[in-house]
A and B are shown apart, each in its own frame.
Chain A
């Protein structure tokens, strides 16, 4: 019996090739995207499973206090200082390891490299079951030990048997290679995490950092990627673990920090470390991918249902005959469901073939190691095939088998208005989703454009940024470098700073307008730089003046004085309560002392600058202050005059070589820094555009099929109307309208949805596109969808309206 059904199903498919093709392709595309989205989400969420006992490995994150104005609600790091306290206070924790990353000049006998180094407590090697080529998990117990990955060893020594070799940091501190481990797996957060960023090949003991960098004071730093890892002795409920972490936190962290910055702690299993960044910035990217995949699948299912319903109306006679011959309704339902299951199964096979093509391409492009594991996928595949097959076939088979036998035999089923209502609704759903996505794509596109435009406030292409400037030897020769550079005829300004535009930094401090006003204090971002920053980045001074070398009070050489000259941005000026920029000049504001026994610190405003977003364009604009102060600046910025010859970069390299012969230069144009960040958003937009494109294409294909079908079944009616005097224009209008109504409804529903969703997205940006652009963009998305659907329908409508009615009327 079942075999018979499948045979009928295949025959029906062959008989209606166009519909079969549309159905199979539509479902295949929907399934591909759905499966791929699911696989990607699983891959991203289910990282770090290679480690032994990975279910016992956690990292500690923090929830931010509502008073913390750093723009995020949680972060995947916490004060490193809490690590040992947690180990002590939570007996269930077997091992704890803090990690801190820094970049150093790492030298072997023959070569110098600027390398990121991860400093970690020795137990890191007991938490993660690395794969040792040389040495073992005790490697970091040696306070001057180092662990290299295979790749790193080969990069620096050309071989892996390097145990005992010496590495020098900044030409000052010596370390011995104690172990070499296999390259870290791509599907672990060590390699894929976006905050951790660089690929770390060198591990050194955290204790050593204290000597190398005097790190002790900085255990309250919470930079991204500086994980605090825990390994439990035995599984325990997460809530209980979190409680214990918070007990430690509350007992050890000053109340003021809890109130204003780090409100609480949480533990997350190591599997979640990879996707943590999205949780942190609150963009549910992975969930969105999954949801989009599901939406596309729904569109494909609706497509199928729609076409199958339309087509089944043409088969009422077949059903009538079968019923007359004694087929029960159940048998007929089974027959039609078998048909949809067959189509789904064929689509699934095509989808899997597509997945096999896409996954390797994706892995190549994105540096991932996703695999198609059929054994673990099997339940999903079976379940989704059956579910999709049943869901998409349910309505058409219900509708057609319901038809009264007599009517069915006459071939004039009572195609009530109800059937067409459900069909309209399905078209509506498809277009709603398409319009929604299209609107989002447009908005993201224009927002990205806006970000790009906004980035023009800085002379991106004329600023060469130097990195890794915070090494003592380089800092010592900073002035020599500045003077040599400024001597070059095409270099107009040089600046050293803790930050450059577009580089995210959350360095902030707590200030108040009047001295001792504990209650009224608020957070402002702060950076240390010099008098070159303003001219280098073309920042406009709206009132007052830039720091000047002629005025010794502008430069703060020590902290003893307890006062400093500052430039503030307009936003900070407003928040401080000055009515105008001019009024603020010469005024002061204050910071509480951060240590007992110190006096209040006073800031004297010498200038007000524009409220440009130096923090990166994907952040909110924040109050901001610039201070000219001696500091181990990480960045150097060189302003190259417009129209300078290309050779200026090699001139800069030569100058560097002369001044700092022991250190390689690390430079990058500001525009490249920007592009690096911008590309993340562009990629996201591209991915969504892909989804939206597929969704809209599916919806249009479905509409095309439906219009073709409707046009065919309505030839008689069109003929009658024509005979009764309808002209072509009236007929085309009628057919367009029939399909337009659901599309209009779709617009009405999609627009507010897209408005809300895009609003959430736009809130991530400092300089977001205006409301007056946001709404029209969504409407354009809707209008585009309508225009496309009209052209698809008009194609058929015109053909039918033009055809001679005679045949349809006489030879039906």
Chain B
């Protein structure tokens, strides 16, 4: 599905030059569930942003499906992004002024979809993540776990094939974290590719394989035994 080749990201600030990613080579297949681990500041978010086309690499190549991402224009990027990629963030990033329902619908607003169909799809996805009874609530009236469920719903309502989750359980207690992980797992079982950054080894275990980053480099990749069947 996507392939990073000798990819580097260097942040140039006033005084220092930060190498956030250093010569990274990663290939991810359609239907995979990949977790990314590593200490704070090692470049996990940077990697996810580049995969999500929110940021561009300083060097190297990034192929998404058949596209060489570097050659795409802003408009094409934004089109590919909204067709294919859903995002989940540690801090949920819901819009405070919009209700649960409207927050989810937002992800369809920029697609060419009729209002009635939008409503149906939002209702369906709310059922799926179990937030339908809170449809009219504002984000500030929900618990963290509920907010993250809304965020998950928003990430998949457009039938995105790839979900990028940056520490989706980072702000949640273990019970709610567990809930979100199960949701991601079932999405993966339905065919969605998932790339997830996490600090929790037990949550990483939900994935088929884990990529360990250190100082911007891939140090190890371990494939989870339980999922060997898939690897074949």
Complex formed: what's the CA distance from A11 to B81 in Å? 45
User: Contacts A412-B140, A804-B55: A810 and B166 contacting too (C-beta < 8 A)?
Assistant: yes
- For B54, what are the chain A residues with a Cβ–Cβ distance below 8 Å? 723, 804-806
Binds A, one of B61-69, B104-112, B176-184, B213-221: B104-112
User: Contacts A726-B110, A810-B89: A414 and B95 contacting too (C-beta < 8 A)?
Assistant: no
Decide: B55 and A721 in contact? CB cutoff 8 A: no
Decide: A720 and B78 in contact? CB cutoff 8 A: no
Set B97, B110, B111: member contacting A415, Cβ < 8 A: B97
Query: Is A730 part of the contact surface with B, judged by Cβ < 8 Å?
Result: yes
Query: Is B58 part of the contact surface with A, judged by Cβ < 8 Å?
Result: no
The B-contacting residues of A in range 660-681, CB under 8 angstroms, are: none
Q: Is the contact region of chain A dominated by helix, strand, or loop, or is it mixed?
A: helix
- For B82, what are the chain A residues with a Cβ–Cβ distance below 8 Å? 724-725
- For B110, what are the chain A residues with a Cβ–Cβ distance below 8 Å? 721, 724-727, 730
The A-contacting residues of B in range 125-169, CB under 8 angstroms, are: 138-140, 154, 166
Decide: B95 and A723 in contact? CB cutoff 8 A: no
- For A805, what are the chain B residues with a Cβ–Cβ distance below 8 Å? 54
- For A812, what are the chain B residues with a Cβ–Cβ distance below 8 Å? 91
The smallest C-beta distance from A556 to any residue of chain B, in angstroms, reads: 85
Nearest-CB residue, chain B, relative to A718: B95
Decide: A414 and B140 in contact? CB cutoff 8 A: yes
Decide: B78 and A727 in contact? CB cutoff 8 A: yes
Query: Is B188 part of the contact surface with A, judged by Cβ < 8 Å?
Result: no
- For B97, what are the chain A residues with a Cβ–Cβ distance below 8 Å? 415, 417, 717
Nearest-CB residue, chain A, relative to B50: A806
Complex formed: what's the CA distance from A812 to B171 in Å? 14
The A-contacting residues of B in range 71-120, CB under 8 angstroms, are: 74-75, 78-79, 81-82, 87, 89, 91, 93-97, 106-107, 109-111
Decide: A725 and B81 in contact? CB cutoff 8 A: yes
Decide: B55 and A720 in contact? CB cutoff 8 A: no
The smallest C-beta distance from A395 to any residue of chain B, in angstroms, reads: 19
Complex formed: what's the CA distance from A710 to B88 in Å? 25
- For A722, what are the chain B residues with a Cβ–Cβ distance below 8 Å? 78
Q: Number of contacting residues on A, CB 8 A?
A: 25
- For A719, what are the chain B residues with a Cβ–Cβ distance below 8 Å? 93
Chain A, residues 722-751, CB within 8 Å of chain B (1/0): the string is 111111101000000000000000000000
Complex formed: what's the CA distance from A806 to B93 in Å? 11
Query: Is B45 part of the contact surface with A, judged by Cβ < 8 Å?
Result: yes
Complex formed: what's the CA distance from A410 to B96 in Å? 12
The smallest C-beta distance from A250 to any residue of chain B, in angstroms, reads: 72
- For A238, what are the chain B residues with a Cβ–Cβ distance below 8 Å? none
Decide: B96 and A415 in contact? CB cutoff 8 A: yes
- For B185, what are the chain A residues with a Cβ–Cβ distance below 8 Å? none
Query: Is A407 part of the contact surface with B, judged by Cβ < 8 Å?
Result: yes
Complex formed: what's the CA distance from A601 to B89 in Å? 100
Complex formed: what's the CA distance from A483 to B44 in Å? 106
Decide: B75 and A809 in contact? CB cutoff 8 A: no
Complex formed: what's the CA distance from A720 to B166 in Å? 14
The smallest C-beta distance from B26 to any residue of chain A, in angstroms, reads: 19
User: Contacts A724-B107, A725-B81, A727-B75: A716 and B140 contacting too (C-beta < 8 A)?
Assistant: no
Complex formed: what's the CA distance from A253 to B55 in Å? 94
Query: Is B23 part of the contact surface with A, judged by Cβ < 8 Å?
Result: no
Complex formed: what's the CA distance from A472 to B138 in Å? 93
Set A407, A410, A417, A716: member contacting B93, Cβ < 8 A: A716
- For A412, what are the chain B residues with a Cβ–Cβ distance below 8 Å? 96, 139-140
Nearest-CB residue, chain A, relative to B157: A724
Nearest-CB residue, chain A, relative to B85: A723
Decide: B111 and A810 in contact? CB cutoff 8 A: no
User: Contacts A414-B138, A805-B54: A721 and B91 contacting too (C-beta < 8 A)?
Assistant: no
- For B111, what are the chain A residues with a Cβ–Cβ distance below 8 Å? 725
Complex formed: what's the CA distance from A415 to B140 in Å? 10
Chain A, residues 451-485, CB within 8 Å of chain B (1/0): the string is 00000000000000000000000000000000000
The A-contacting residues of B in range 14-51, CB under 8 angstroms, are: 45, 49
Complex formed: what's the CA distance from A805 to B87 in Å? 13
The smallest C-beta distance from A214 to any residue of chain B, in angstroms, reads: 85
Nearest-CB residue, chain B, relative to A810: B45
Decide: A723 and B106 in contact? CB cutoff 8 A: no
Chain A, residues 798-812, CB within 8 Å of chain B (1/0): the string is 000000111001101
- For B95, what are the chain A residues with a Cβ–Cβ distance below 8 Å? 716-717, 720
Nearest-CB residue, chain A, relative to B138: A414
**What are 26 A-B residue pairs whose CB atoms fall within 8 Å in the complex?**
A407-B140, A410-B140, A412-B139, A412-B140, A414-B140, A417-B97, A720-B93, A720-B95, A720-B106, A723-B87, A724-B82, A724-B107, A725-B78, A725-B107, A725-B110, A726-B109, A727-B74, A727-B78, A727-B110, A804-B55, A806-B49, A806-B54, A810-B89, A810-B91, A810-B166, A812-B91
Residues of B near any A CB (own CB < 8 A):
45, 49, 52, 54-55, 74-75, 78-79, 81-82, 87, 89, 91, 93-97, 106-107, 109-111, 138-140, 154, 166
Extra A-B contacts (10), CB below 8 Å, given A720-B106, A724-B107? A412-B96, A412-B139, A716-B95, A717-B95, A724-B154, A725-B79, A726-B109, A804-B54, A806-B49, A810-B45
Q: Which 5 A-B pairs have the closest CB atoms?
A: A725-B82, A725-B110, A412-B140, A724-B107, A717-B95
